[in-house]
Amino acid sequence: MDRHFVLTFLRELAANNHKSWMDAHRADYHQARAIFTELTAELLRRGQSFELGLTGLKPSDVMFRINKNDRFQQSNEPYKRHMGSGLKPGGRHSPWAGYFIALEPGGETYVGAGRWMPEPAQLARIRQEIHYSPDTFHALRQDAALLREFPAGLDLSQSLRTAPKGYDRTDPDIEWLRLKSFFVWRSFSDEEVLRPDFLDRVITAWQAAQPWVQFLNEAMTEA
């Protein structure tokens, strides 16, 4: 599993992010994607041992396209600078919480878990669950195993400026109820990505996050 080739290809793509370069290096792209497919397949195989919702999924179900075609991409570059997968029940575009990996050179590789920017109905259910079960929520987000793998804890970058509709701004959990995203993540250096134990470390991180993912998916399930 030559992850060095993938990082090298992505580094060159970042420096030549246009269609003519990609067309001239299409064979390299397919080789890099084949390596990343193998990596994703192995992570799926291991992930299915602790997350039943991943059962039956194939790499093609969870791997993201390298073309920029979604609303979160801000630049005019036609291709993403990373190769990524979203391992969650129903595949990469399903509405459920899950597990994520993106390889990107320059120390930009990340591994994450949770639900990024849920739809309004899901967001309302998560907030309701936090409000109804604050002790469970805080125990999960402060879990020692989770914080060992994701030291920064819950990403606070996506948040309302005021209290969401239906909640008092003096609520003791207002900081958490204002969140619009419920995600943990951590980065890996290129050297760490190339280490033999990289996949072991990814799986260890995801296993630590499994109770958090389960909490979110149960909260988002419509009664």
Instruction: Please list the pLDDT of the chain residue by residue as tens digits (223 residues).
Output: 799 999 999 999 999 999 999 999 999 999 999 999 999 999 999 999 999 999 999 999 999 999 987 555 567 899 999 999 999 999 999 999 999 999 999 999 999 999 999 999 999 999 999 999 999 999 999 999 999 999 999 999 999 999 999 999 999 999 999 999 999 999 999 999 999 999 999 999 999 999 999 999 999 997 6
Both tokens assigned to 157: 């970058």
Residue 77: left (phi > 0), alpha (psi -120 to 50), or beta?
beta
Dihedral sign for Cα atoms in the order 54, 55, 60, 61:
negative
Given this model, what pLDDT does residue 68 score? 85
Q: Measure the CA–CA gap between 120 and 157, rounded to whole angstroms.
A: 18
Query: Taking the model in full, what pTM does it have?
Result: 0.94
Given this model, what pLDDT does residue 222 score? 73
Q: Measure the CA–CA gap between 154 and 175, rounded to whole angstroms.
A: 12
Given this model, what pLDDT does residue 70 score? 56
CB 35 within 8 A of CB 3: yes
CB proximity list for 31: less than 8 A, separation 6 or greater: 5, 9
Topology of domain 3-220 in CATH is BirA Bifunctional Protein; domain 2 (3.30.930)
Both tokens assigned to 124: 């309302």
CB proximity list for 6: less than 8 A, separation 6 or greater: 32, 35, 36, 83, 103
The 3-class SS string of the chain reads CCHHHHHHHHHHHHHCCCHHHHHHCHHHHHHHHHHHHHHHHHHHHHHCCCCHHHCCCCHHHHECCCECCCCCCCCCCCECCCEEEEECCCCCCCCCCEEEEEECCCCCEEEEEEECCCCHHHHHHHHHHHHHCHHHHHHHHCCHHHHHHCCCCCCCCCECCCCCCCCCCCCCCHHHHCECCEEEEEEECHHHHHCCCHHHHHHHHHHHHHHHHHHHHHHHCCC
Pairing of strands 83-87, 98-103: antiparallel
Calculate the CA 41 to chain-centre distance. 16
Q: Measure the CA–CA gap between 29 and 208, rounded to whole angstroms.
A: 33
